Amino acid sequence: MFQEYESFLQDSTFKYVGCKLSDLQLTQFSHFGDLLLDWNQRVNLTRITDPHEVILKHFIDSMILSKFISGVSFLDLGTGAGFPGVPIKILRPELEIVLMDSLKKRLNFLDLILKTLNLEGIYTFHARAEDFGRKAQYRGYFDTVSSRAVARLPVLLEYALPVLKINGLFLALKASQVDNELAESKKALNILGGAVESVEYFNFGEGAEHRAVVVIRKVEETPLQYPRQAGTPIKDPLCYFKVNKC
């Protein structure tokens, strides 16, 4: 099915990302899209099933992060159906990528994707974000961490900053109305050792959600008590407001 939309994918990638995809990359995206919609009939992977929307709201929305990626080691935190990690790997095959998620069914799907697309240097990891952040081998390991549609920014910071290197980047994909989450995140940034470097806004055309990429640099070591035990960051987020959730 997605083979019929390769010209739209190629044009959209060049327009929004500034890259021209090779024949191999187009084929990989086509196989990825076909398998995504096939598996989605049995496993809840995405509510987006129109091929045009999958291309804009999943593929392009993921690849836009390539403009900001630092270094070679990349963590997709709460990858879900493989976004943004798999499109980024197709676009930037030199990157070493870990796809982390707490749901094994999604990772089973992604293991098939990685094998079918013959992608090397990309791995799945089954864990909760809080547990992953306390693993010694990944503490301060990644050059870039990204996440989309997982949690509000103060919570994401507690998941992401512990596994970033000093001077590494956390890229949070958010809706364009991100100002409230940035205000909520001042305390978390101060405690966890992060600083907002920029907020970049994108519009992928009519019918696509306006997007913002929050670029946060890790400037200090994160205290060892973070992330806290599973469930605590969401129940008691590191923000200034005395509410149950930020």
> What does the alpha-carbon distance between residue 192 and residue 63 come to, in Å, rounded to a whole number?
27
Domains (range + CATH), the chain: 64-221+230-235 (3.40.50.150)
Name the residue type at position 241: F
> What does the alpha-carbon distance between residue 225 and residue 244 come to, in Å, rounded to a whole number?
21
pLDDT tens profile 44-88: 999 999 999 999 999 999 999 999 999 999 999 999 999 999 999
Rg (CA), the chain: 17
Structure tokens at 199: 């907020």
Q: What is the pTM of this model?
A: 0.94
Torsion of CA 158, 160, 165, 167, to 10 degrees: -80
What region does 167 belong to: left with phi over 0, alpha with psi -120 to 50, or beta?
A: left
Helix (H) or strand (E) holding 87: helix 85-91
Distances (CA, A) of 209 to 8, 32, 58, 74: 18, 22, 11, 25
Cβ within 8 Å of residue 75, ≥6 positions away: 97, 98, 100, 138, 142, 144, 145, 146, 160, 163
Cα–chain center distance at 176: 16
192 or 211: whose pLDDT is higher? 192
pLDDT tens profile 164-208: 999 999 999 998 779 999 999 999 999 999 999 999 999 887 666
Query: Can you give the pLDDT at residue 207?
Result: 63
pLDDT tops 60 at residue 244: no
pLDDT tops 70 at residue 160: yes
